[in-house]
Amino acid sequence: MPVDAPSHRDAAKGRLPTLKGTLTHTHLRDAFALDSRAASLYGYFARIAEIEGYPEVATTLRELAEQKAMFADGHLDFLKKAGDPLTGRSIGETTRNLSAAVLIEEQDAVDRLPGVARTAHAEGFPDIASWFESVALARHHHLARLQAAKEDAR
Amino acid sequence: MSTPNSAYSASAITVLTGLEAVRQRPAMYVGSTGPSGALHLIYEVVQNSVDEAMAGHCSRICVTLQANGSIQVADDGRGIPVDAHPTDGRPAIEVVLTTLHAGGKFGPQGGQAEAYGIAGGLHGVGISCVNALSDHFEVEVRRDGLTSHIAYMRGEEASPLTSVGPSESTGTTVTFRPDPTIFDGVVLDVRTLRRRLQEQAFLHPGLTVELTDARGRNRASEVFRYDTGIAGFVDHLVAERTPLHPQPIAISGEHDGHQVDLAVQWTTAYAEETLSYVNAIFTSQGGSHVEGLRAALTRVVNARARAEGLLHDDADEQIAGYDVREGMVAVLSVKMREPEYEGQTKSTLTSHSAIDAVEAVVEQALSDWMDAHASAATAIVGKALEASRARAAARRASERARYQSIDQVVSKEVYKQQFGIRSKNWHQSAAWITDDTILSTQADMWDGPDDAKVLDVCCGSGVVGNAFRGKVGHITGLDLTPEMIAMAETRLDIVKQGDVYEMPFDSDQFDLVCNREVLHLLPRPDIPVAQIFRVLKPGGTFIVSQLVPYGPEDAPWFFRIVKKKQPLFFNNLMAEDMVKLLEDAGFVDIEMKDIICWEDIDVWIDTWETPNLHRHEIRQLYYDAPAEVRRVHPFEIRPDGGILDQWRWVVLRGRKPSA
């Protein structure tokens, strides 16, 4: 089935097309990943530029990072109708958002990070393994905080 | 600095707003109602005298801390005008003392009424704030042959302006007592005050600043007067460091209405110290003037290195700014009109024009200086290159250790290089190395016989083993390099050269093995723990201490800090991990004690193993620490940007089961 089929069908019935499963949905997810990554990366670059003595470069990078973070929010404005881009869970109101966040932390702290730490050890990166373990530890703590927040919001 | 329009009379005072609300919200005006707020009141008054000195009318400022808690600031300036204010009609001094933002500094730029071309002024609130926040405030003015007096209580006039007699001199004497109902129980930080006053004497050659403490039984007085200016200031700051060139480089010049003065000296130390001022006000966070300085330094040193053929042109090699500034001590003073700052505290200059001014003046003067002082220039450039290479070497060190660890063999050379160099100033590289609490806690955990045979593993300077002295018999040390062995031999009975992965001792030899802060530097800490277990006699004791994070909240942040300080950091060991390490090796009866230890991080990061970029990044990590980290991990950022951290240490004791 061609990807644009739903839109045609919905348009024909005079309805707005649904986003979920469309190519545009994929593109929004990609854009969210890129812009939130760039926001973090440029913030990091800005701190180095500052230390190296390029204050104007640092300002440029920081301003771009700010804009990218706003772009990422804009992508989310559309994405939230189709679900959280990381877990696919439906998001929007705080109670749903917290459920998605709990799932993100669970997947990361419980499933993903211990495995990647083991791999890092096996590949001869004990410091990186220790870094992943430290992050996993904090993630467990975040999970507990989010679960408590979920109770509060209920 | 004398200004052309120096008619400082009543018409020079401009009224902007009233004095409401200062007493209701004192912290908004002077920062806090604690020690720093109280000091701020003094600075505010002193700054008025300093502005007179900058305008060329004042040569002496005397600050006296009086027995009753009052502070007196006396100068020999022109005296605050007492004639009627042109728009207000009241005596100008009343306007100055009771109106926020009133003073000679707020007149129109370049206008007839301008009394100061350039002035400091602290938070732009003026002396009226001090009046509002004092339960007793009086001013004596000597001017035009008369002595006048006026007094206030909590901002309300208590005694009107009256002429109390003739005067042969000129000047202003302000006596005030910070209101104890606002500054409750505040103890004046005299050390900080002393530093600030001394700084002013350095910044204004020829100005005498006197500090008298008459609060105690013994009246103590100190006089600061320097004709050497900021070069003398740098000399004073360099003090115990070893300079790379005999005299500070003094640079002075004007560019586009900015007077730029710089004194700079490079030393063999690692940390950079740059103090910056705008119109004699300390800018603790730097700003555009410091940015201009950094840009100029980087450009001049790179140009010089290239001219001397020290850089690889084909690789487009560059010395980074932070490498250029390693070990540098600098005082930068800029005088300019209408400086702009970020926020109210004036800690960061944002005026763009200062970048170009400082850059232009410094670049020209410094390259001229280097042309005239070729050997000193070579030393400075060489130091920057060395810093640049050390950074690359530090990165390589951790990469090599990582590579080696694939088959669990760590290159001893890597550790030898890293710690051999450090051994030169082992006891300066961190305060906890000789921290009594940690050492005595370790020693107190030993409950065995006083003829015990002891092994200090990775003994470093030998202080850990030595702490057991008197409670044990014979102490053996073990470490990697000849330098460390020589150092440990001054404290321990015998020191062997060897490594922790294969200890050069037979099994079942020692009653006690002690060790501190080593396991986190090894890719496989379980191997040395197993070795320690092996060389202990059955029933023997292992006592080990380790720096650890407080909990999951600060663990990743702590990891980043320690990794930047020490590239050989491989394991972010938590307190629980330490217990598990001992348990897994077979130790029983494990006990753990917690110790906290405050340390100025500058001591800790000012070492060979921490590259300059990392030093800046570490500071930034503290400044930007996430709230989760701040909640569990105590640290303090001082007003000058320095950082005190509260480290958490654990000391563990485990026993090898008896046979």
At position B156, the amino acid (one-letter code) is E
Is the same domain home to A36 and A102? no
As a CATH number, domain B415-655 is 3.40.50.150
Taking CB atoms and an 8 Å cutoff, what residues of chain B touch A141? 551-553, 628
Q: Is B159 in contact with B149 (CB distance < 8 Å)?
A: yes
Contact B384, B324 (CB under 8 A): yes
Q: In terms of Cα–Cα distance, which of A138, A114, A108, A69 is closest to B560?
A: A138
Element (H, E) at B293: helix B288-307
Residue pair B551/B495 in contact (Cβ under 8 Å)? The answer is no
The verdict on A44 touching B (C-beta cutoff 8 Å) is no
Which domain CATH number covers A8? 1.20.1260.10
For residue B618, what pLDDT is reported? 92
Amino acid in the structure at residue B607: T
Where does chain A show beta strands of DSSP type E? none
pLDDT in tens, B104-127: 554 443 333 445 555 555 444 578
* B267 to chain A, closest Cα gap in Å: 20
At residue B431, the pLDDT reads: 59
Higher pLDDT pick, B643 / B159:
B159
Q: Are residues A112 and A129 in the same domain?
A: yes
pLDDT value of residue B426 = 53
Provide the shortest C-alpha distance from residue A68 to chain B (in Å).
20
pLDDT of residue B103: 52
Are residues A106 and A151 located together in one domain of the fold? yes
Give the closest of A124, A127, A137 to B563, CB-based.
Answer: A127
pLDDT of residue B112: 37
Query: In this structure, which amino acid lies at residue B355?
Result: I
Q: What is the pLDDT at residue B398?
A: 58
What residues pair up with B342 in beta bridges, in sequence order? B348
CATH of domain B229-388: 3.30.230.10
Reference B22, options B134, B177, B150; nearest CA is B134
Question: Which of A38, A61, A82 is a domain's end point?
Answer: A82
- Give residues with Cβ within 8 angstroms of B93, minimum separation 6: B80, B81, B82, B139, B141, B148, B150, B161
Pairing of strands B171-178, B208-213: unpaired
- The CA distance from B378 to B382, in Å, is 6
Chain A's closest residue to B520, CA to CA, is A127
Same domain for A30 and A59, yes or no, is yes
State how far residue B297 is from chain A, nearest Cα, in angstroms: 10
Instruction: Show residues of chain A in contact with B523, CB under 8 Å.
Output: 126-127
Best A119, A127, A145 residue to mutate vs chain B (most B CBs within 10 Å): A127
Tell me the CB-side half-sphere exposure of residue B344, using CA atoms within 13 A: 9
Residue with tokens 């850990």: B464
Name the residue facing B555 among A47, A52, A138 (closest C-beta): A138
**pLDDT at position B410 over 60:** no
Are both A96 and A78 inside the same structural domain? no
Determine contact: A59 vs chain B, CB below 8 A: no
Backbone φ, ψ for residue B435 (5° rounding): -65, 120
Per CB-CB distance under 8 Å, the chain B contacts of A120 are: none
What is the CB neighbour count within 10 angstroms for residue B351? Answer: 19
Enter the pTM of the model. 0.59
Contact by Cβ (8 Å): B112, B94: no
Consecutive H or E run containing B465: helix B463-466
pLDDT value of residue B224: 95
What lies within 8 Å, CB to CB, of B129 at 6+ separation is B22, B29, B30, B41, B44, B100, B123
Query: What integer is the mean pLDDT of B601-606?
Result: 77
A-B Cβ pairs (cutoff 8 Å, strict) = 71
* End-to-end CA gap in chain A: 42
Task: From A54, A82, A110, give the residue that closes a domain.
Answer: A82
pLDDT of residue B4: 47
pLDDT of residue B462: 85
CB proximity under 8 Å: B 515-534 to A = 523-524
Smallest Cβ–Cβ distance between A138 and the set B298, B523, B553 belongs to B553
The mean pLDDT value of chain B amounts to 84
Range(s) of chain B covered by CATH 3.30.230.10:
229-388
User: What is the reported pLDDT for B14?
Assistant: 41
What is the percentage of chain B residues whose pLDDT exceeds 70? 85
Confidence (pLDDT) at B581 = 94
Count of domains forming chain A: 2
Q: What CA–CA distances, in Å, run from A56 to A19, A63, B287, B290?
A: 41, 11, 12, 13
Residue identified by tokens 């030898």 is: B416
pLDDT of B188: 82
Q: Rounded CA gap, A36 and A84, in Å?
A: 14
Between B135-149, B338-352, B388-402, B620-634, the lowest mean confidence (pLDDT) is in B388-402
Question: Are A103 and A154 within one domain?
Answer: yes
Nearest chain A CA: its distance from B283 CA (Å): 17
Backbone phi, psi, residue B78, to 5°: -80, -15
pLDDT in tens, B298-314: 999 999 998 888 887 66
Tokens of B215: 């609060």
Written as one letter, the residue type at A79 is: L
pLDDT over 90 at B366, yes or no:
yes
3-state secondary structure of B372: helix
What letter does residue B244 receive in the DSSP assignment?
A: S
Cβ contact B556–A126 (<8 Å): no
Query: CA nearest B570 in A: which residue?
Result: A127
**Would the CB atoms of B320 and A55 count as touching at under 8 Å?**
no
pLDDT digits (tens, 9 = 90+) for B62-99: 999 998 889 999 999 999 999 887 777 788 898 888 87
pLDDT at B61: 97
Please check the confidence at residue B16 and state whether its pLDDT lies above 50: no
* Element containing residue B255 per DSSP (H, E): strand B249-255
DSSP 8-class letter at B267: B
Mean pLDDT of B497-501: 84
Kindly report the backbone phi and psi dihedral angles of residue B378, in degrees, each rounded to the nearest multiple of 5, phi listed first.
-65, -40
Suggest the residue from A123, A128, A134 to mutate for an interface test with chain B (most B CBs closer than 10 A): A134
3-class SS of residue B546: strand
Domain with CATH 3.30.565.10 in chain B: 10-225
Chain B residues 542-561 with CB within 8 Å of chain A = 549, 551-553, 555-556, 558-559
Min mean pLDDT across A39-43, B139-143, B202-206, B636-640 is at B636-640
Amino acid at B128: S
Residue B37 in this model has a pLDDT that exceeds 90:
no
- pLDDT reported for residue B408: 40
Low-confidence ranges of chain A (pLDDT < 50): 1-5
Flag whether pLDDT at B429 surpasses 60.
Answer: no
Q: Are B286 and B354 in contact (CB under 8 A)?
A: no
Host domain of residue A113: 89-154
Q: Do A131 and B572 touch (CB under 8 A)?
A: yes
Whether chain B has a CB inside 8 Å of the CB on A110: the answer is: no
Residue B406: pLDDT over 50? no
Residue B631 has pLDDT above 80, yes or no: yes
Looking at residues B243-251, what average pLDDT do you find? 91
- A11 and A66 share a domain? yes
The string of pLDDT tens digits covering residues B515-574 is 988 889 888 889 899 999 999 999 999 999 999 999 999 999 999 999 988 888 889 999
Assess contact for B351 and B340: CB atoms under 8 A: yes
Residues in B 574-593 with any Cβ partner in A closer than 8 A? 574
Assigned CATH class of B10-225: alpha beta
Tell me the percentage of chain B whose pLDDT exceeds 90: 43
Measure B398 CA to nearest chain A CA, in Å: 9
User: Would you say B319 and B305 are in contact if contact means Cβ atoms under 8 Å apart?
Assistant: yes
Q: Which pLDDT value is given to residue B262?
A: 96
Find the CB nearest A130 among B288, B403, B572. B572
Question: A27, A47, A82: which is the final residue of a domain?
Answer: A82
Residue pointed to by tokens 């990647």? A116
